[in-house]
Amino acid sequence: MSIISIPRCAVVVGGGGALGQEISQQLKAEGIATISLERSSLEASLDISELKVVIEKLNPSAIVNCIAITGLDKCFLDPIRAFEVNGIFAIKLACISKILKVPVLQFSTDNVFSCDVKGVLYRETDDPKPATVYGMSKLLGEACKIRTNAPFYVVRLPLLFGPSNRNQIIHRFIKQIIKGIDIRVSSDVFSTPVYTPDVADFTVKWVKGKIQIGSVTHLTSGQLTTLHDLVVSISDKIACNGKGMVLAASSSEFSSVEAKPLHGGLASELIPTIDLESAITRYGEWIESNLKEIINE
């Protein structure tokens, strides 16, 4: 009888999302065997025993979970779905990680903190206290209680921007600016933004075992900036005629079904911060070389 050995690979779940796409692409570019699963191949509501069978068959050396419902309003309006996808699914993965001894990288958010004190950067040792349904569901997904002895690593992220974040806030603003439309952007919403390709670079290092992280780690630029200032800095890097203006606004001008957390931002006691200025320059260069495509999206 011959035994067929399945080569090990990195498995990215939520591979069709903004972060999942970028991570899958960088893993493959690094020559790492990667299976990227979109929602059509893996639905978060899958029963845990079925999920275990799916994962066992893939024989992964590492699992990266990019599945999430990220919109604050979406989570508020359908909390059961938010807790199922952001919370329970991650707990199922943590259980499987423990049984199969496969490390899992679980992305979380600064929204697990209250984000209500100006100027505060939250550290890994600070106590979470989410103020939104999104934050609560992501905190459940950190699977703290069952993490003992499971190789389940939580990486909390601040606001993300980058080429793959096409349906998200920063890209939507940039698209309007280069179309010559003036925009109003909140100057009272803070974060310590990170460029999505830098999160992917970090993930590649983690998959390769080249980076040591804690059970909870903050990946951050550590540079507190407002949404308005970030968009202005990106716009300044784009050389094109007839750009729209970026005007400062109050977040109260924009309607939302749940009060938005204004004072996000992360610091890390475990890993170095990521340079924001260089990220903005790289993003500006990417925008300039993809202007036509972005305008026609």
Burial pattern 144-163, b for ≥16 Cβ within 10 A else e, equals eeebeebbbbbbbbbbbbbb
Which region among 16-24, 142-150, 224-232, 236-244 touches ligand NAP (by CB under 6 A)? 16-24
Give the phi and the psi of residue 173 in degrees, each rounded to 5. -65, -45
Q: Which residue has the tokens 């508020």?
A: 76
Using the rule CB under 6 A, which residue among 10, 12, 55, 85 binds ligand NAP?
85
225 binds ligand NAP (CB under 6 A): no
Using the rule CB under 6 A, which residue among 25, 36, 109, 217 binds ligand NAP?
109
Residue nearest ligand NAP, CB atom distance: 17
Shortest distance, CB of residue 189 to ligand NAP, whole angstroms?
Answer: 12
Residues 113-152 interacting with ligand NAP (rule: CB under 6 A): 138
Using the rule CB under 6 A, which residue among 133, 157, 219, 230 binds ligand NAP?
157
Using the rule CB under 6 A, which residue among 10, 11, 12, 17 binds ligand NAP?
17
44 binds ligand NAP (CB under 6 A): yes
- Residues within the interface to ligand NAP (CB under 6 A): 14, 16-20, 39, 43-45, 66-70, 85, 107, 109, 138, 157, 159-160, 165, 168
